[in-house]
Homo-oligomer: A and B are copies of this chain.
């Protein structure tokens, strides 16, 4: 049976053949696991995806959350999902044993989350947002905070959120105004408003634990004065019960897609009785929050890749079944029509989708593996993984998000008029996937992060480590006949990357910061294409080796498809870097900087 939303065969390829995730179990931290337990995780996720999440996909879209009398009502499947994820231990699976986790590798949990997101993105957000919030408390919170909140969150009884954005601030965290006033009771009084907070209020959950950033009175201005707090919807009282904590939902947004999850506007302390508990030290909140944010950014990339995967599966199924037209060279009108998958242009649209989906997944798993390896290594090696992860996070967030939109759009296009109608899921995927270049830092923000921070940090150390990874892949691919020409193309792209980066950083060194960053979004696109080309080359090398050893016909088709999709990427996608490089080399002309607002009149 064709998969409806994500190809398990491909996940297994990426995890076990491309990355050798099973080798992680050689490290003591993961020693209790094996490929068999990993497979069990994947199969459980597929079963839950098929049985619980996917069947609710369309209905959650058509019956979005309702806000009535100050209360938020969500689809009943949410309670089922939170219960199943809590009882199954999935929310906390990645955490250490001593706090109730199972020390499952991040790579495997990323696959788990990817399967959920492909089956039903909105539904997947509830449990895994809880995971992120709980990890943040675990990492930086006092023992008491951990004990009070984390077990309930891991059990799926309490929802976790991240509460950052404010009406006047948006992407500019410098400008946030929510205040925290210290009290003698060890807690702070919180006052302010937050907007665009996912899953932060709904009836069918026991409690909501907001990880909120605010400014302690008297804190330094700007991002250096931001602290992190736990601000629950209901606070635990001395009798072991829960008391209202003066956190009010004042509205929910009506959105283009991603409609199964409520995005709310929250008021804290309107009645002067909202309590928050400081996480870690004062004024270090932004740094703490960024741990969660970085995890969340890779997760957003996965969300986008997962939705694009579901769209690819749906359009592939349609293309196999829908007869229309005839081979271009023999247009006998009396001959029977052929399935549209026979047409070159449809194959191109499918190859594009596959290139985006499987290229994105490959990159995301690469990042996830760096997380795991950084956890179990030390010193220089650990730093290497951390730096590579830091560098690649904005790409892992943005490439899938931006290209996922185009990929879903091509999926929709394969269905023609039917793609535009709600009898098929493509139109929903098209709406759902559009959130990803926006939340957890817009694409513009990611571009500035990549060029303005990551590429230049530690004198370009992360960038050089990245180049070394590419060189290694190129060297390996040169030896494989099926991959040699792609290896040369990537080698040429690496030279373009070096030259373009040098040209841009020379602007920074001259102090021309605005010019340096003016085309950061294009640099992100450019870097993303090269990065995903690297991942495709690695995949093709693996597939070519497997094909050489393999005589099983079904798997041979899979590997041939991988190699052909890699060829597609190098023939159709990677050449896009030349236009981008041409512009980036000219960034010093400051074309956009020079554009005056009044010239738009």
Contact = CB atoms under 8 A, between A and B. Distances in A.
Contacts of A560: 596, 599
Contacts of A579: 575-579
Contacts of A344: 514, 517-518, 592-593
Given A554-B601, A558-B601, A351 B417 contact: no
A327 interface: yes
B422 A438 contact: no
Contacts of A416: 170-171, 438, 442
Interface in A470-526: 513-514, 517-522
A597 B172 contact: no
Given A171-B416, A568-B591, A350 B600 contact: yes
A437 B414 CA distance: 11
Interface in A553-601: 554, 557-558, 560-561, 564, 567-568, 571-572, 575-580, 582-583, 586, 589, 591-601
A405 interface: yes
A579 B526 CA distance: 12
Contacts of A329: 513-514
Given A350-B600, A417-B438, A589-B571, A324 B583 contact: no
Interface string A220-256: 0111000000000000000000000000000001111
A165 B439 contact: no
Contacts of A423: 253-254
Interface in A265-305: none
Contacts of A601: 554, 557-558, 561
Given A169-B324, A345-B520, A599 B413 contact: no
Given A221-B334, A256-B430, A427-B255, A435 B420 contact: yes
A552 to B, nearest CB: 12
B421 A438 contact: no
A175 interface: yes
Given A172-B326, A255-B421, 5 more contacts: A256-B420, A345-B521, A348-B518, A417-B439, A557-B596
Interface of A: 165, 168-172, 174-175, 195-196, 221-223, 253-258, 316, 320, 323-329, 331, 333-334, 337, 339, 341-342, 344-348, 350-351, 354, 405, 409, 412-413, 416-417, 419-423, 427, 430-431, 434-435, 437-439, 442-444, 447-448, 513-514, 517-522, 554, 557-558, 560-561, 564, 567-568, 571-572, 575-580, 582-583, 586, 589, 591-601
22 contacts: A174-B331, A175-B337, A196-B417, A222-B331, A253-B423, A255-B422, A256-B421, A256-B430, A320-B597, A327-B514, A328-B514, A344-B592, A347-B592, A348-B521, A350-B600, A557-B601, A560-B599, A567-B591, A571-B586, A575-B579, A575-B583, A579-B579
